[in-house]
Every structure is written in structure tokens, then in C-alpha cells.
Amino acid sequence: MRKWLTAAVLVYFLYGLFMYGYIFMGGSTGVPEAYQGSAADPQTFMNSRELILSEDYSKIKNFLFFITIPFEWFIFIVALISGLSKKMQSWSESTSKFLFVQSAVFTFWLTLLVTAVTLPVEWISYKISYTFQISAQSTSSWFKDQLIDFWVNFGMMIFIVFVLFWLIRKFEKRWWLYAWFLSIPFTLFMMFLQPVVIDPLYNDFYPLKNKELEEKILSLAEQADIPAEHVYEVNMSEKTNALNAYVTGISSNSRIVLWDTTLNKLSDEEILFIMAHEMGHYVMNHIYIGIAGYLAISLLGLYLVNRLLNLIILRFGDTLHLTSKKQLASLPLLLMLVGILTFASSPFSNAVSRYQEKKADMYAIEMTADSEAAIKTFQELSKAGLSQVHPPLLVKLFRYGHPTMLERITYLEEADPKN
């Protein structure tokens, strides 16, 4: 056990050392010479203080991203090798003979373990955002959100874990296929539920107060044949100084949502460009294409998880205190494999997302015919979020579901008839 734990710590340390060197001392973030002095060059729209802060903040947040994702896998490995996962299974089995109750108890202890160990890292991330004035959230509000996260995640995981292990025990060889079939209605149901049940737990949503702006947005929606009756704003200024807007939900629960920070900091023309961008996603069915893509990847992912579970338990079962994937104690291993495969596939899914975002940008510029407002919008987004205009390659591949600001501003400039 000591040998495996030592190896896990060493691998994690070397990985962290590599990412630190890459982000803080490698990975070029300077704007290429060809774009220096252009609208995409932060030197043209940020002051010296903003330039320094955006570089420092982005590097710290990127580093935290890369070291926190495998940190959760490390927790799962420790739980397995130390025998803690097997102990939690014993606790759950002693409470009831029913699988649902056992799943709920085991999931509670595992969720509590992961939350307790990762909370200090989450706290550090929050304090960094607060120090750089990205977050405006009070400590009590932040803890409240963490508590909501815990119970929402726990509530969903109870049913997911129960269904997964019922399927594994009932259909040992084909459980992954049946799980995938069940994930289709579950995914659609959660997307339908998200805007009206889950999102309001964190923030207050209400119809857009600026009726004149709402009329302009709904007029755009009408041009795009989007059946929208209301635009919602959300009081994000209590928690952040960053800007955002999005379309959420499906069917009758779909909503156009604007953060109040966006309303406070951008002009009507810039907001209309953002809204046209979001409408572009709707018109080009990106939500449904995204769902289809997610389901296709998840089918392959569940198949690989099943194969890897069998191989790992056969080869390292004694070390991990596992004899079968039917054991609840194998849940940390299953979650770790899902996490690793999700992370490994993120460059592909991010590339598809960046393509869709570019298409939505081009749709918005055609609809609004205001490239000046579009470019100004992205400049303001960069300043408000202290984001790098030209991040390192690995950061772009694994973190960016949108084109970089350098790319977005550049192709908008090129789309301007005046250029």
C-alpha cells in the first residue's frame, strides 16, 4: 500500500511541477507580431495595470485548473488503496439490505470525503478571484453555494449510483449499453429542469427590467424565427464582476438570460451582438447537436469504462481491495475512469465547441452588421474577466470551449466590409 501511495504522490507531484513550468515559465502568451497594434492586441485596449493583472490572474487560474482535476482522481486512488472505500461499503451494507439505501449511504460518505478534501482548494480559488476583484461574493454567500452544490450533487448521484449498480448486478456484460440508453431521457430531463429548478437555487431570475432593450432583443429573435416571449436577467453582480449571457433549457423552458453585470457595463449595441450570438446557437441547432455529440461520446466512454474496470480489477484487485465491479466499493474507480476519459476527450469536444462559437459569432455579425460593437464587446469581456487574449496551446486545448479573444477579434475585423 505504501509503495502505491508513494507512486501516486510522486506522479501527481511531477505532473504539477510540469504544469507549473509550462504555465509560468513556458507557453507563450504574447500576441504574435502580425497582430501587434491591432484591435486584438491587449496593449490597445488595456492599461498597464490590467495587462499585468490579466497575465497573473490567468496563469494562476490555469495552473489551479490543471492541478485540481487530477487531485480528485488522487482522492479516489487513496480511498481504494487504503481500503477506505471497502469500509464505506461495509457501513452502507450494515444500514439496510436494500440497494437504494446502500447506494445513498455510500454516495453520501464518498461525496462528503471529496467535498471535505477539495474544499480548501476551492477556497483558495475563490480567494484568488476575490483578490483580483473578479469575484464580488461574500464569504457567507460562497459557503451557501458550496452547501447547495453538495446537496444538489448528492441528490443526483444517489439515483445515478443506484441505477448504475443495479444494472451492473443485473446485466454484468451489457450494463454500459443500458446505462447509455437511460442517460438519453435523463440528460433531456435535466436540461428541461435546469432553468426553472436548479439555477434559481443559486440566483434570482426575473424578466428584463429595461423594456426598451427587451423590445430590441425580441425584435432580433423575431427576425431569427425564435419563439421567445421574455428575456431574463440574473443578479450576478452580487457574486462577480465578470460578464456573460446565455440561452439555457430546451422546449418550453428555454430562456435567454443576461447577467446584470453585462447590462451595467455594455452598451445596447454590444448587448444586441451578444444576444444575436446566442440566437445563432439556437438557429443552427447547436444545443441539439451538442446533446447528440455528448451522447455519442458517452456511449464510447461507458464501453471503455466497462472494459477498463474489468482489466484493472483483474490485474490490481488485491491492491485496490476489489473483487468485482458489482461492489459499491468500486464506485471511486468508476468515477476516476469517467473523469480521466472526460479530461482526455476535452480537446476534441472543445474543438467542436470552438467551431460552433465561431459560427455563432459570424451569424451575429451578419445579423447586427456592427463589427465595431462586436469587437468592443470582446475587448470588454477580456478586461472584465482578466482573461488572456492569446493563451498557451495546452490551455486552449483543454480549457477553451470558445475561440481565444485574439481569434475572435481577428476574424471579426476580417469580416468587416471596411477592412
**Per the annotation, where are the binding residues?**
277, 281, 357
Could you give the residue ranges of the DSSP H alpha helices within 82-210? 84-95, 99-131, 139-170, 175-193
Active site (catalytic) residues: 278, 361
| Residue 78: partners with Cβ closer than 8 Å, 6 or more residues away | 5, 8, 84
Whole-angstrom distance, CA of residue 368 vs CA of residue 150: 42
Whole-angstrom distance, CA of residue 307 vs CA of residue 311: 6
**For the chain, how far is it from start to end, CA to CA, in angstroms?**
65
Q: Is 32 left (phi over 0), alpha (psi -120 to 50) or beta?
A: beta
Exposed, middle or buried, 168 (CB in 10 Å: 0-12/13-18/19+)? buried
**Residue located via cell numbers 444517489:** 158
**Residue ranges at the known binding site for Zn(2+):** 277, 281, 357
Burial code of 5-22, b = ≥16 C-beta within 10 A, e = fewer?
A: eeeeeeebeeeeeebeeb
Instruction: Provide the CA 45 distance to its chain's centre, in angstroms.
Output: 28
| Residue 247, helix vs strand vs coil | strand
Spatial CA neighbour of 57 closest among 16, 27, 24, 15 = 24
List the 205-207 sheet strands across, edge first.
205-207, 231-234, 255-259, 245-248
The half-sphere exposure of 407 on its side-chain side, counting CA atoms within 13 A, is 15
Instruction: Provide the CA 271 distance to its chain's centre, in angstroms.
Output: 23
The half-sphere exposure of 304 on its side-chain side, counting CA atoms within 13 A, is 16
Instruction: Provide the CA 317 distance to its chain's centre, in angstroms.
Output: 32
Spatial CA neighbour of 406 closest among 256, 393, 398 = 393
Spatial CA neighbour of 46 closest among 405, 310, 407 = 405
